[in-house]
């Protein structure tokens, strides 16, 4: 069994006998649609202003997919870029996990559709739904297949076409969200600690704070449900804001404690890109420096499960994250769900 090099932190996986079979993200990729919708564009749709949106959210623009561009298309493009960067063909992928709240259809899974689009003919495929927390949930699930030696190459994707479930007449929600996808290739990398830990949580008693009432077995599509706007995303902004800050802060502290780390040892913190005030409040509670936090919210808005995946890809491409650096991912979403992951890159 291989022994990992000494580090100034604790690998929680090693404590449970997983020293010889860790899981690393060996490549990331992302894709956002070409169409840009600015705050000025939204001023022509609803009673809002660039100043109002920017001051309250930090968002200046977001991407919106074309009418004939679907979640599976966004995810396939992000996945192809991630695979190309590391020189892996679609045929080598053994499992595809897609985190999304905007699947192409209820079934089959978006993962199965992506499998076909990227030629991953040997891969099993399934979706998970943990809203904006989905990417970290999917990473932890994918890691289990690597650590157990079930698969050698796992593809994890966060992809969303949120423009398809947004009420463009609701100024409180239409300004917040955008479309996009991010992907990560997971493999065992000898000598690397990889994904050190992932802390996840949920509180179903607060499900009504952020949801889409229509479309499921409780409220299938009818003329009345469509006319009532039940197939659009709904959010209680103030309560969601408060819960997001508390949950992300608690998850971050738990993840750092598991690894015996101080926040100062983290090279890059990548929080869910939902609201600049949430990001700043969480950062202040954690005591992070401004240069530790990666933010691209102003250009993409909230892309739900794709959010931290897109940001991770950009941080790597910009050289902010390099081999051996410690990265902290923080997420929060409908469910309510939340999570934090510590990664040695």
Q: Do residues 117 and 177 make contact, with C-beta atoms less than 8 angstroms apart?
A: no
- Residues marked as catalytic: 132, 272, 302
Token pair 């045929």 in the structure block, residue: 91
In sequence order, what DSSP letters do the residues of 153-195 get, joined into one string?
Answer: -EEEEEEE-GGGS--TT-TTTTTTB--EEEEEEEE--TT---E
DSSP string of 240-295, one letter each residue: HHHHHHHHHHHHHHHHHHHTT--GGG-SEEEE-SS-HHHHHHHHHHHT--GGGB--
Report the C-alpha gap between 191 and 261 in whole angstroms. Answer: 20
Distance CA 311, CA 302 (A): 11
Which positions ≥6 away from 203 have C-beta within 8 Å?
243, 335, 336
Residue of 275, 265, 207, 266 lying closest to 236 (CA atoms): 207
Angle between helices 276-286 and 50-57 (to 10 degrees): 20
């Amino acid at each position: 069994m291989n022994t990992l090099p000494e580090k100034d932190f604790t690998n929680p996986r090693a404590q449970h006998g997983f020293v010889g079979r860790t899981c690393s993200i060996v490549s990331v990729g992302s894709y956002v649609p070409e169409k840009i919708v600015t705050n000025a564009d939204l001023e022509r749709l609803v009673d809002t202003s660039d100043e109002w949106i920017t001051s309250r959210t930090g968002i200046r623009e977001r991407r919106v997919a074309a009418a004939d561009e679907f979640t599976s298309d966004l995810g396939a493009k992000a996945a192809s870029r991630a695979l190309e960067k590391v020189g892996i063909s679609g045929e080598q992928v053994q499992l595809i996990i897609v985190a999304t709240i905007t699947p192409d259809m209820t079934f089959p899974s978006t993962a199965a559709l992506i499998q076909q689009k990227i030629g991953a003919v040997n891969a099993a495929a399934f979706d998970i739904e943990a809203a904006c927390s989905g990417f970290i949930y999917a990473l932890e699930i994918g890691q289990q297949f690597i650590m157990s030696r079930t698969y050698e190459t796992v593809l994890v994707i966060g992809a969303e076409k949120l423009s398809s479930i947004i009420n463009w007449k609701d100024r409180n929600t239409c300004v917040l969200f955008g479309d996009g996808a991010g992907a990560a290739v997971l493999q065992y990398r000898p000598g690397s600690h990889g994904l050190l830990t992932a802390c996840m949580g949920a509180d179903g008693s607060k499900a009504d704070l952020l949801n889409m009432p229509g479309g499921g077995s409780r409220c299938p599509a009818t003329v009345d449900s469509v006319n009532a706007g039940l197939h659009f995303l709904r959010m209680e902004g103030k309560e969601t804001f408060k819960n997001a800050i508390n949950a992300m802060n608690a998850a971050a502290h738990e993840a750092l404690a598991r690894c015996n780390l101080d926040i100062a040892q983290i090279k890059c913190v990548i929080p869910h890109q939902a609201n600049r005030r949430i990001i700043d409040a969480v950062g202040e509670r954690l005591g992070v420096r401004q240069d530790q936090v990666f933010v691209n919210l102003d250009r993409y808005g909230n892309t739900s499960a794709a959010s931290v995946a897109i940001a991770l890809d950009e941080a790597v491409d910009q050289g902010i994250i390099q081999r051996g650096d410690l990265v902290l991912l923080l997420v929060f979403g409908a469910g309510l769900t939340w999570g934090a992951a510590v990664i040695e890159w």
